[in-house]
Structure 1
Amino acid sequence: MRRLLWLISDNARLCLVLGLAAGLGFPTLAAAMQPWLPQMVAGLLVITALRIGHRAALGAVSDLRWGLASVAVLQLALPTALFALCWLFGLAQSPMAMALVLATAAPAITGSPNLALLLGQDAGRMMQILVLGTAMFPVTVLPVLALVPQLGPASEIVSAAALLLLVIAGATTLGFSLRAMLFRHPTPQQIKSLDGLSVLAFSAIVIGLMAALNPALRMTPESVAAWALLAFAISYLAQISTYLLLRKTALQPVAGPLAIGAGNRNIALFLVALPEQVLAPLMVFIGCWQLPMYLTPMLLRWLYQPET
């Protein structure tokens, strides 16, 4: 088992691609896994917290001085600016405008610390950004809802954010406790095994996330291609611009985690509140949104490489 986990750790990026391929190639499996996504996400958080440890994730209080401003920019200013741009061009009521708002108003995905590990970035800082962004989401989303009322009632979205925060807190506490009990001073071999376990869980989740994309890919492949292009543009432009803007500033130590958080957002938070008539045309986009995120460790590795 240990050697299998080491093999997975050594081939992490390939495993993510295989997860995407399995989700697209085995629709029955994807549909069967879809109902278990909440439990799988919680399990992934436990494994990630076990891998990182509480010392790396908590850090000093002073580390969060930059946090509130970054959340305000990424989760409030950015979606507001993009919606204003769509309004200027007469596209405010279009599905594309809705997708832009969804993809930029949400906090970082729960798997973002795993992406940080795969990209050689500080996973502890990434965990900080994840928790802070999720905690602030009920506040930052309210002005966005005022701009785009068709997103749904504020009470349901805020409740979903609160539930997610509770899940994150519970899962990470369990992971940190297991780390303290089982791996107080982990060896390099144990760390590598935990890396492999983390990659395996992260790769499995995407199979269920691909369930909505399979029917659309067979029926309207041109629509899927258009939504996929938009998803890649949003995610990668957000990551590239954030990293390039911050890497020469005082925020250079957190430029990588902030860039990962900027381009990898948890838009599933909105699903509980979106009316059915609004949700239907966006489900393909939500499926496509997984593609750039899971391919980030392969396609954007050049961006996060340390400068020599």
Structure 2
Amino acid sequence: MLIALALVARHGRVALVLGLLAGLILPGVAQMLRPWLPQMIAGLLFLTAFRIGAKAALGGLADGITTLKATLVLQLALPLIALALFVALGVADTPVAVALILMLSAPSVTGSPNITQLLGHAPEPAFRILILGTALMPFTVIPIFVLSPGLGDFRDVMAAALRLIGAIGVTVIAAFLLRHWLAPTLKQEKAMALDGLTTLALAVIVVGLMSALGPALTQDPLLVLQWLVVVMVANLGLQYVTYRWLTFRGHHTEAVPLAVVSGNRNFALFLIALPASTTDPLLIFLGCYQVPMYLTAVLMRRLYGKSQNTS
């Protein structure tokens, strides 16, 4: 079993692509998995926290300051800039503008440390910003919703954010404690097996996340294509700009993890809390958003690989 999981870890990018394809061609399976997404995402977070361990995840004071700065830029400054731009253009109420503002306001996706690791870089910075970003989300989202009342009921979003923080806190603490008790020193073969298991989890989760995309492709393929262009430019474009800026500033170690996080956000969090009138037009966005997210380890590998010799 360990050998099989290690093989999956070595071919993780292929597994993610297969998961994307399964989400498109197996709509029945996607619908079946969709109700279990919260549990599967929590399981993925547990595996990631167990794999990394508390010591490496928490880091030192300098790591904490860097993570705080990055969180405030990604979850507060960027959505405010985008909102100001959309207001100036008179398009702040359009579905595209709403989707992009919500995306930029969201914390990192749970799988960002795993994607970073698939790219051959240390996942700890991505994990730290995942935890801190989620914890700060109830505060960073306040000015966004105050300035954009059309996004939905502020109290509902706060309740969803607090539930998410509680779930992540319990999951991460449990994983850290079990790692400390059962495997304070993780051997290489077991680490590879865990990497393979988390890759399989990612591949299964994406099938459920794309449950709305398969039917939309048959009903309105042009609309799906338009949304796909939007998410590809937003996700991969933001990753590219973030990576280039950080490497230009000499932050080679954090460049890849923070770039991955910048483009891959937990947009689905808002779909849980906002009214259907706001979220229904964005369901196709969510399905399309999985494409660049799960192809990051493939499409961005050549660019991100350059920093391995300088990190």
Q: TM-score, normalising length from structure 2?
A: 0.95
Corresponding residue of 1:93: 93
Does the Cα contact within 8 Å between 2:24 and 2:210 map onto a contact in 1? yes
- Secondary structure of residue in 2 paired with 1:305: helix
Corresponding residue of 2:113: 113
For structure 1, the 5+ residue unaligned runs are: none
**Deviation for aligned residue 1:152:** 1.3
Inter-partner Cα distance in structure 2 for 1:67 and 1:216:
38
Deviations 1:92-134 (A, max 9, x none): 1111111110111101001111111111222111111011111
Does the Cα contact within 8 Å between 2:152 and 2:275 map onto a contact in 1? yes
Deviations 1:25-45 (A, max 9, x none): 111110000000000001001
Does the Cα contact within 8 Å between 1:83 and 1:100 map onto a contact in 2? no
Corresponding residue of 1:270: 270
Does the Cα contact within 8 Å between 1:110 and 1:266 map onto a contact in 2? yes
Inter-partner Cα distance in structure 2 for 1:123 and 1:174:
19
Inter-partner Cα distance in structure 1 for 2:111 and 2:179:
19
Deviations 1:147-205 (A, max 9, x none): 22122111111111111111111111222222223322222111111110110111110
AA aligned opposite 1:10: R
Does the Cα contact within 8 Å between 2:57 and 2:127 map onto a contact in 1? yes
Give the 5 Å matches for 1:55-94: 55-94=55-94
Give the 5 Å matches for 1:249-264: 249=249, 251-264=251-264
Deviations 1:40-82 (A, max 9, x none): 0010011111211111101112311122222221111111111
Does the Cα contact within 8 Å between 1:41 and 1:110 map onto a contact in 2? yes
1:35 pairs with 2:40: no
- Secondary structure of residue in 1 paired with 2:41: helix
Inter-partner Cα distance in structure 2 for 1:144 and 1:202:
30
Does the Cα contact within 8 Å between 1:8 and 1:199 map onto a contact in 2? yes
AA aligned opposite 1:287: G
Corresponding residue of 1:4: 4
Give the 5 Å matches for 1:219-298: 219-249=219-249, 251-298=251-298
AA aligned opposite 1:168: I
AA aligned opposite 2:107: P
Corresponding residue of 2:133: 133
- Secondary structure of residue in 2 paired with 1:71: helix
AA aligned opposite 1:122: A
- Comparing 31-40 with 84-93, greater Cα deviation is found at 84-93
Does the Cα contact within 8 Å between 2:15 and 2:203 map onto a contact in 1? yes
- Comparing 104-113 with 53-62, greater Cα deviation is found at 53-62
Does the Cα contact within 8 Å between 1:27 and 1:211 map onto a contact in 2? yes
Does the Cα contact within 8 Å between 1:125 and 1:257 map onto a contact in 2? yes
**Cα-Cα RMSD:** 1.3
Does the Cα contact within 8 Å between 1:150 and 1:274 map onto a contact in 2? no
1:186 pairs with 2:189: no
User: Which aligned segments of 4 or more residues in structure 1 are displaced greater than 6 angstroms?
Assistant: none
AA aligned opposite 1:244: R
Inter-partner Cα distance in structure 2 for 1:249 and 1:290:
30
1:202 pairs with 2:177: no
Does the Cα contact within 8 Å between 1:151 and 1:273 map onto a contact in 2? no
AA aligned opposite 1:215: P
**Deviation for aligned residue 1:146:** 1.6
Does the Cα contact within 8 Å between 1:150 and 1:275 map onto a contact in 2? no
For structure 2, the 5+ residue unaligned runs are: none
| Corresponding residue pairs, total | 308
* Percent of aligned pairs with the same amino acid: 44
